[in-house]
Amino acid sequence: MSREAVRRGVFARDAGSLSDAPATVPELDSAGMPLQPTGSPRRLLVVASHVVQYSSPIFQKLAQDPRLEILVAYCSMQGAEARVDPEFGVEVAWDTPLFEGYPWVHVPNLAPRPGVGRFFGLFNPGLWGLIRDGKFDAILVSGYFYASAWLAIMAARRHGVGLIFSTDAYSLRSLKIRSAWRLWLKKFLVRGIFGLGKAILGSSTGSVEYLKSLGIPESRIVLAPYTVDNAWWTARAAAVDRDEVRARWGIPPASRVVLFCAKLQPWKRPLDVLEGFAKANVNDAYLVYAGDGPLRRTVEARAVELGVMERTRMLGFVNQTQLPAVYGSSDLLVLPSEYDAFGLVVNEAMLCGCPVAVTEYVGAKFDLVREGENGFVFPCADVGALASIFHSYFLNQDSRTRMGAAARRRMETWSPREFVESVVKAVELAARTGSRQKR
C-alpha cells in the first residue's frame, strides 16, 4: 500500500476472505436489539504498536468473519525482521507467517528516536488521516504507553469513532508498580483512560474483575479470551515423535521431563525450577530449559553446584515451529514468574497435552489452570511447594496422560472462536455509541 493510501485511509480487503463464510444469526442485547447489523460488516481499525507473532493468526480469524472488515495499522515493523532481542539476548527471526490473511498497513513512524518501549518512540501522524477518512465504526487500541496510541484516541474522539481498549492485566500491581502511592496514582490514571472507551476487552476473568474494581461499568466490559491459534498447535502436536525428540535431547523415552519455556530473566525466576527440581530429587527425571537470556550462565553454574547438570538440558532459544515438539515431549511445564499478566506458554503447552504448574502471579491461572485436574498453582518463590508438586505428580504414572487430556479439553472453549465473538460484541457496542456521537 502506498504512503498516499495510508494518508487517505484507503485499503483493499484480502480477496476471498468473505466468500465462503457462513451466515450468522444476530445476537440480541438485553433490550432485544440486534448486536450485529444484518447489512454491511462493521469496519474496525486495529492500532498495533508493533508486529507480534501471536497476533497474526488472530488477525486472520477476525478478517475471515463476515461481520467485520478490519485493517491493522502497524506503528512499527519491530518484530517482523531479524534482530537481537534484548531479553532473549540472541537474534530472533520468527519462522511463522506474520502478514498473511488479513489487510494491514504500516503507518510511517516519524519519532526522532524510534523504538518500542519509549512513550515518544512511536509517533505516527498518519493515523489521524487514516481515522478521519477511513469511515471506521470502531478503533481498537492495545495499550496506552506510546504517543501514537493517544494520537489515535484523540482522532477517534474528534471524529466520533467508538474506542475499544484491551488489557490483560488482572491487578494494579506489576513488576514496576508496587508501592501504595504508585498503586493509588495508577488506579486514578487507568480508570480515567479506560473511561474513554466504549468497550474494554479483558483477557481473563481476572482482567474482568480488575476492570470492575476500577469502576468501569459492567456493560462496557467484554471477556475476550487471550488465545493462540489452537488449530495450528494441536495439528503440530499430533505430528510430534516424542521418542525421536527425546533421543535428540539424550533423554530416555520413559523418563520424566520438567520444562521451563521462557526468557531466562530474573522476573521469570528460572532458578526456582532448578532448586525445586534438585530438592525433589525424583528418580529418572530431567529438567529442560527452552529459552535464553542473561541468567543462562547462572542457571548452568547453579545446576553444577546442585549436582543436577547431567540431568539438565539447555536448548537455548526455540523458534515457534519447533515449540510443539518441545511441549509434546515434556511432562510438566513450570512457569514460576513473579508476574505474568497472562502467560501464553500455558495455552501452548495445554494444547500440546502438557499439564502446567504456575505461580499465583500468572494470569492464566484464572481460567485455564484447574488444580489437580490439568495443572497446579503454587506460591511464587516457594521452592518447597514446587518440589512437592514434582513428587506428587510424578509418583502417579497415569498423571501425565490423565491431566494432559484434561488440558486439551479445557482449551476447546478457550480459542480464537470465543475471542472473535467477543470482538464482534465490543465493536457493536462501540459502533452504536460512536454513531450517536457522529449525529
Pick from 21-25, 79-83, 196-200, 250-254: least confident? 21-25
pLDDT higher than 70, residue 205? yes
Structure confidence by residue, pLDDT tens digits, 67-90: 999 999 999 999 998 676 666 566
Q: From residue 35, how far is each of 139, 167, 398 by CA, in Å? A: 17, 22, 46
Asked if pLDDT for residue 34 goes beyond 70, the answer is no
117 pLDDT band (50/70/90 cuts)?
confident
Q: Which of 28-32, 218-222, 400-404 has the lowest mean pLDDT?
A: 28-32
Which residues have a Cβ under 8 Å from the Cβ of 31 and sit 6 or more positions away? none
Half-sphere exposure of 48 (CA within 13 A, CB side): 26
Sheet containing strand 256-261, strands side by side: 312-316, 285-290, 256-261, 332-335, 356-359, 375-378
Residue 300 has pLDDT above 80, yes or no: yes
Q: On the CB side of 386, how many CA atoms lie within 13 Å of its CA?
A: 30
Query: Model confidence at 181, in pLDDT bands (50, 70, 90)?
Result: confident
Cα 126 from Cα 148, distance rounded (Å): 10
- What are 264-292's pLDDT values in tens digits? 999 999 999 999 999 999 999 999 999 99
pLDDT at residue 270, as a whole number = 98
Predicted local distance difference test score (pLDDT) of residue 86: 65
The set of cell numbers assigned to 71 is 485493517
In three-state secondary structure terms, 164 is strand
Give the DSSP H/E element, type plus range, for residue 437.
helix 416-438
Mean pLDDT over 233-262 rounds to 97
- Would you say 335 and 344 are in contact if contact means Cβ atoms under 8 Å apart? no
For residue 212, how many other CB atoms are within 10 A of its CB? 13
Question: In this model, does residue 24 exceed pLDDT 50?
Answer: no
Q: What is the pLDDT of residue 396?
A: 87
Strand partners, 85: 90
Structural domains present in the chain: 3-227+415-438 (3.40.50.2000), 231-411 (3.40.50.2000)
Q: pLDDT-derived band of residue 178, with 50, 70 and 90 as boundaries?
A: confident
Predicted TM-score (pTM) of this structure: 0.89
Statement: residue 200 has pLDDT above 70: yes
- Whole-number pLDDT of residue 23: 34
Asked whether the beta carbons of 403 and 137 are under 8 A apart, the reply is no
Q: Which tens digit of pLDDT belongs to each residue from 304-354? A: 999 999 999 999 999 999 999 999 999 999 999 999 999 999 999 999 999
Tens of pLDDT, residues 346-380: 999 999 999 999 999 999 999 999 999 999 999 99
pLDDT computed for residue 327 by the predictor: 98
* Per-residue pLDDT at 56: 95
CA distance 388 to 276: 8
- In the structure, what pLDDT confidence band is assigned to residue 438 with cuts at 50, 70 and 90? low
Which positions ≥6 away from 210 have C-beta within 8 Å? 167, 169, 170, 171, 172, 202
3-state SS, one letter per residue, for 323-379? HHHHHHCCCEEEECCCCECCCHHHHHHHHCCCCEEEECCEHHHHCCCCECCCEEEEC
Q: What is the dihedral of CA 93, 98, 99, 102, to 10 degrees?
A: -170
Q: Is the pLDDT of residue 122 over 80?
A: yes
Higher pLDDT, 370 or 4: 370
DSSP labels, 110-146: --SS--TTSGGG---THHHHHHHHS--SEEEEE-SSS
Find, among 411, 418, 63, the residue nearest to 233 by Cα.
411
